[in-house]
Structure 1
Amino acid sequence: MAVDDTLNPKEKLKAFNSLLPIFSFIKPYKLMLALALLALLVTAAVNLSLGQAVKFVIDNGFIAGSEQQLQEAILGLVFLISLLAVGTFSRFYLMSWLGERVSADIRKAVFARIVTLHPSYFEENRSGELMSRLTTDTALLQSIIGSSFSMSLRSLLLLIGGLVMLFVTNLKLSLVVVVAVPFILIPMIVYGRKVRSLAESSQGAIADIGTYAGEIIQNIKVVQSYTHEAREQVAFGHEVEKAFIVAKNRVKQRSILIAIVIFLTFATISAMLWVGGMDVLSGKMTGGELGAFVFYAIMVAMSVATIAEVYGELQRAAGSATRLLDLLKVESDIKQPSQPSTIKVQASSAISFEQVNFSYPSRPDSPALHDINLVIATGKTVALVGPSGAGKTTLFELLQRFYDPQQGQIKFNETDITQLRLTDLRDAMGMVPQQPILFSSDVWHNIRYGNPQATDAEVIDAAKRAHADEFINQLPQGYGSFLGEQGVRLSGGQKQRIALARAILKDPNVLLLDEATSALDAQSESHVQAALNDLMENRTTLIIAHRLSTVIDADLIVVMDKGRIVDTGDHHSLLNSSALYKKLCELQFDKVTGQV
């Protein structure tokens, strides 16, 4: 059931009040709003004048039998219609422009807030829901501001003005209208609620279809690998049929509503025509007065219908406004320092972890790191090894301040990272993840993401150093080739070399490599390892490695297990001091070379 159906009057008023902050986005465009409202007032006044023009045409043209008077009356009517057309164009254009402009501003504000939120927020909130707020909710607000708001004001003016003109034109027939209005409004309210409820259900069903289809398309290789095409076709068909059943019920209720309203409206008009016709025949009123009265009656009926429809839209918009404003109010858990420090140029230690304890916000009772103490000297290469779940990647995430530890301190170039600007801290680091992330764009964009100001020559040089230039030139459009969603057109090794080229182009002070060669074949690994060795020279480097052959020559190897540092040293010393490191070496090296 739609939420708005269960709200009491106070709750509905509170819901509508949630729309008020949205008008802060309209303030910069007060002139456009004023012009739109002026056009609206003009069109409302012209609409109300048309009734008197109809009366004048009938009484002074047709009934009077004067050709000249008829011509004058028709010319006056054409003038009013022309003025109405110009006013309607102005009102529609200005309000639609305002709706589109405000919608665009809200989208930018929401997106600007989303991209600055802490990663744990996205663990608790689905990306599909956030996308819905950016698209569906803002589109609904655009419709409200650009169309429904204007329509509701126009209809309200016409309703009030039409009722006044009804009583001015004929008191007796006005009483007939007043008596008939409740009989028209009651079914509109009852069936209107059903229609809105079913409309909400229909939108939810359509959203489910989109979510289901998106997941299947994104994982199409898994679906085809398990030969589940027919199974998924049937499952998707069930989702579509459920949406169709809901939509069918919505259409049925809406059709009933339209039929009842049309019947009651025209029955009322017929009754007015009978009563008014009898008065015209008896000479109690003129034909022009009857024509004008019918005109105003239809105007009032249409205004009521429009207001009733817009009322439902406003209730839906209130929910959208609440969701958007809630998102705009979200504060990131990662706070920027009020008086940030600058990164020291010269420092003996590049990175240090001091008594760091950390649990992910989504798993507060499962500590990811315990009592981490680690000092990494400037320019050194440090490898983090250990079984999966040991906390190696977590160290990278804390170092980049995606999260803050619950206890302890992390320093970068001897300065607490919480005292540094996030942009300064992250600009000083280059990350090559285990699962490289590529954007749905061309090669230029994906590599240049490391340095948007880089020239084409610099991009190509970075690609060559990452041993990616050769396969890039074999793509259909070379560096201009579109890589598909998440780089789907590349192999795993090619993706990783693009990500490496991106990090090379960034030229960071600290290089973070998370299994950077894990997806490469032996030949590609040797090339990329050579490129990495060149890149790591005179640069502080942290490497997460399960393939220990890549880190034997590291200056320091840190052995981790269950969120703790269990030993540190170089390869040879750890073979003697760390049973876990020796076991990891035996599992890998014995199978390949027969020796440790």
Structure 2
Amino acid sequence: MDQSFSATNMPISDVNIPNPKPDSKEYIPDDKIYKLVKEKNKLRFSWIVLIYGWKYKALFLSVVFVVTFSAFLVSLNTLFLSYVLQATRQEKVYGLAWYGWMAITVSDLVLLYICTYIRNSCSIMLAVKIEVELRNLTIKRLLEQDISYYSDKKIGKLMTKLVGDTNVIGNEISGMIAWVIQAPLVIAMGTSTLFILHWQLALIASLCVYSLAILVILFSLQYQKKVKIVREVISDVNGDVIDRIGAIKLVKATGTRKYEESRLNGLHEPYIKAFKPISRIDGTLLAILIASDVLINLIMITVAILFFNNSEMMNVTLPAFISAMIGLTRPLWQIAAIIPGLSRASASSRQIYEVIEKEPILDDKDKSVILFDENISKIEFRQVKFNYPEKPEVNIVPKLNITLEKGKSYAFVGETGSGKSTISKLLLRFYDPTEGCLLINDKNIKDFNLKSYLSHVGYVEQEPSIIFGDVYDNVRYGHFQATEEEVHEACKKAQIDQIINSWPYGYQTILGERGLLLSGGQKQRLVIARILLRNPELLILDEATSALDNIVEKEIQSQLNELMKEKTSVIIAHRLSTIKDVDQIFVLVSGKGIVQQGTYKELIKMPGKFKDLHDAGNS
């Protein structure tokens, strides 16, 4: 037996993958954003913040209140500092000496510290919750999509939108809410503070700062188009990189590591190029902001000397005014951060929109009350024609009229492209017929809640699907309530129990992404164990034992034969030796549909396509 896989450092306890709980409450994502997307045909960052923010209104309102209060504290702090400076040159200001104003200023700073702590902790938690909500919505939409949606998509590009873009939005939210509210308030109150100190200087300072603010805004708006390009480029790059890592066996087998290193390095050139204009905008903005802090103060000093040159101005008013100017210029830095941040978040919102706006072709009737709660006694393909949505001009199944009865086994054979695997996809409702209908117990399969129907179906494909997790996670998938003893029994029947127990961590061994370290035979046995545990009424086998050696194949085939008793089984066959005992064989030809049908013994004696396939396989 094949025991090629050996795991020495991958216990499940180190990875801590949560096991599904069959009795846990089903997660129901918020659909307000999705409804708005369908209504407006776009997705705005502001909608995300407001809709999900209101869902967590306690956090959201706490942030809004604390930010507003902080803006008052910042403005009062600059005013109090100016009074401290004035009081050092005068006996008292509004009846308080300099140390009285100093005490008030310190108290203001303590309150500001507390508010800043609350603001940051609440805004970060709010941002994380919104990020998770948005990611769950994106995952939901991806899971709702039918198989055809993924036919021309790079998984890596979708993952960039799912993980990267939702993370960008989450990162921007935490500071965005604070700055959007605080910056205008601080500017307004800072301006009032300056007018309290000296209205003529305040007028000039306001003109300078507001003109500079407009310049910063206009400059920052250039970010939006540039960032959109960057997000599109990085999505393409990530898609390509993940595709190559997924094909690591091919890279290793062909010795193309250096080629891929060079190719992927070249692939990042557009990403670097897309960032160049952004770096120039960043550099210019920073230079403007640093220069403005000094330049505006120099303008104020010059105006004071030229027009208000007296002892009180130079020794009392001007130092206090310069100190208070901090409250007016500091928000410029926040504005310079807000606009690029909004641009990044807006670009990511558009990327996510591309995922969630797409409607699936199939409706799985997830909310339908029509549940399939009966035994599968009959399956009928009635006048079924099928063209793949990805290639609507190519007819795969021209016309299919067959009935499958309970307790019998059926095989579909034919050359590549004849449509035999399409039969299994229609039975699993990966696709709906282009014309005609598929009936289960004389009822259209499209009318059922799909999940309730698939609970009666078991599927073993030629390329087995292995998830990242241990043996229990993989065998129990779709039948989560199964006990460990039931998993062990299923693995024994699938002839893999001894192999699993030979691994250092046994059934708790992590199998790796896509079962990378498993042999083809081990993967197929695990999936067969999954089906044996599930014990379905309709069994669909797409060359289920193709990766097994002859001895093991016979042992597992006997277990499958036992499972197939009293059930309907559909076998997609490439090796004719695996279907000698089925009740009915359908021979398919591309563009013609079924050209022959009968038992193995009948067809082997009859001139035609089946005999040609048999002779070709034994020549």
Letter of the structure 1 residue corresponding to residue 387 of structure 2: S
Letter of the structure 2 residue corresponding to residue 33 of structure 1: F
Aligned to 2:298: 270
Contact 1:133 1:320 in 2 (8 A): yes
CA distance in 2, matches of 1:53, 1:178: 20
Contact 1:15 1:319 in 2 (8 A): no
Q: CA distance change for structure 1 residues 18 and 86 in 2, over 3 Å: closer, same or farther?
A: closer
Contact 2:586 2:597 in 1 (8 A): yes
Contact 1:343 1:413 in 2 (8 A): no
Aligned to 1:143: 171
Q: Which runs of 5+ in 2 are unaligned?
A: 1-39
1:134 Cα offset (Å): 1.9
Aligned to 1:132: 160
Q: CA distance change for structure 1 residues 182 and 15 in 2, over 3 Å: closer, same or farther?
A: farther
RMSD of Structure 2 on Structure 1 (CA): 2.8
Aligned to 1:45: 72
Aligned to 2:617: 588
CA distance in 1, matches of 2:375, 2:239: 51
Q: CA distance change for structure 1 residues 236 and 123 in 2, over 3 Å: closer, same or farther?
A: closer
CA distance in 2, matches of 1:202, 1:121: 24
**Range moving further from structure 2, 18-27 or 433-442:** 18-27
Contact 2:146 2:361 in 1 (8 A): yes
Q: CA distance change for structure 1 residues 144 and 254 in 2, over 3 Å: closer, same or farther?
A: closer
1:352 counterpart = 2:352: no
Matches within 5 A, 1:290-329: 290-325=318-353, 327-329=355-357
1:220 counterpart = 2:262: no
Aligned to 1:23: 50
Aligned to 1:494: 522
Q: 1:377 aligns with which of 405, 418, 425?
A: 405
For residue 441 of structure 1, give the secondary structure of its aligned residue in structure 2.
coil
1:477 counterpart = 2:515: no
Aligned to 1:543: 571
Q: CA distance change for structure 1 residues 79 and 131 in 2, over 3 Å: closer, same or farther?
A: same
For residue 567 of structure 1, give the secondary structure of its aligned residue in structure 2.
strand
Q: Which runs of 5+ in 1 are unaligned?
A: 1-12, 592-596
Aligned to 2:598: 569
1:403 counterpart = 2:412: no
1:404 Cα offset (Å): 1.0
Letter of the structure 1 residue corresponding to residue 535 of structure 2: D
Contact 2:378 2:404 in 1 (8 A): yes
> Per-residue displacement from partner, 1:376-399 (whole Å, max 9, x unpaired)?
111101111111111111111111
CA distance in 1, matches of 2:254, 2:384: 44
1:420 Cα offset (Å): 1.7
Contact 1:280 1:287 in 2 (8 A): no
Letter of the structure 2 residue corresponding to residue 544 of structure 1: I
Contact 2:414 2:588 in 1 (8 A): yes
For residue 115 of structure 1, give the secondary structure of its aligned residue in structure 2.
helix
The size of the alignment, in residue pairs, is: 576
Aligned to 1:257: 285
Q: 2:561 aligns with which of 510, 513, 533?
A: 533
TM-score normalised to structure 2 length: 0.86
Q: CA distance change for structure 1 residues 513 and 277 in 2, over 3 Å: closer, same or farther?
A: same
> Per-residue displacement from partner, 1:294-320 (whole Å, max 9, x unpaired)?
234332222133224312322332343
1:283 Cα offset (Å): 3.8
Aligned to 2:392: 364
Letter of the structure 1 residue corresponding to residue 487 of structure 2: V
1:231 Cα offset (Å): 2.1
Q: CA distance change for structure 1 residues 456 and 405 in 2, over 3 Å: closer, same or farther?
A: same
1:129 Cα offset (Å): 3.3
Contact 2:385 2:434 in 1 (8 A): yes
TM-score normalised to structure 1 length: 0.89
Q: 1:446 aligns with which of 471, 474, 481?
A: 474
**Range moving further from structure 2, 257-266 or 190-199:** 190-199
Aligned to 2:422: 394
Q: CA distance change for structure 1 residues 341 and 262 in 2, over 3 Å: closer, same or farther?
A: closer
Q: CA distance change for structure 1 residues 307 and 253 in 2, over 3 Å: closer, same or farther?
A: closer
Contact 1:187 1:257 in 2 (8 A): no
CA distance in 1, matches of 2:447, 2:271: 52
1:242 Cα offset (Å): 5.4
Aligned to 2:195: 167
Q: 2:137 aligns with which of 87, 106, 109?
A: 109
* Greater percentage in helix: 1
Contact 1:400 1:425 in 2 (8 A): no
> Per-residue displacement from partner, 1:148-190 (whole Å, max 9, x unpaired)?
1221111111112222322332222223324434763576356
Letter of the structure 2 residue corresponding to residue 415 of structure 1: K
CA distance in 2, matches of 1:323, 1:200: 9
Aligned to 2:261: 233
CA distance in 2, matches of 1:463, 1:496: 11
For residue 325 of structure 2, give the secondary structure of its aligned residue in structure 1.
helix
**Range moving further from structure 2, 432-441 or 261-270:** 261-270
Contact 1:117 1:333 in 2 (8 A): yes
Letter of the structure 2 residue corresponding to residue 166 of structure 1: L
Q: CA distance change for structure 1 residues 105 and 72 in 2, over 3 Å: closer, same or farther?
A: same
1:417 Cα offset (Å): 1.0
Contact 1:184 1:265 in 2 (8 A): no
1:449 Cα offset (Å): 0.5
For residue 467 of structure 2, give the secondary structure of its aligned residue in structure 1.
coil
Greater RCO (Cα-Cα under 8 Å, separation 6 or more): 2
1:245 Cα offset (Å): 5.4
CA distance in 1, matches of 2:115, 2:352: 33
Contact 1:344 1:413 in 2 (8 A): no
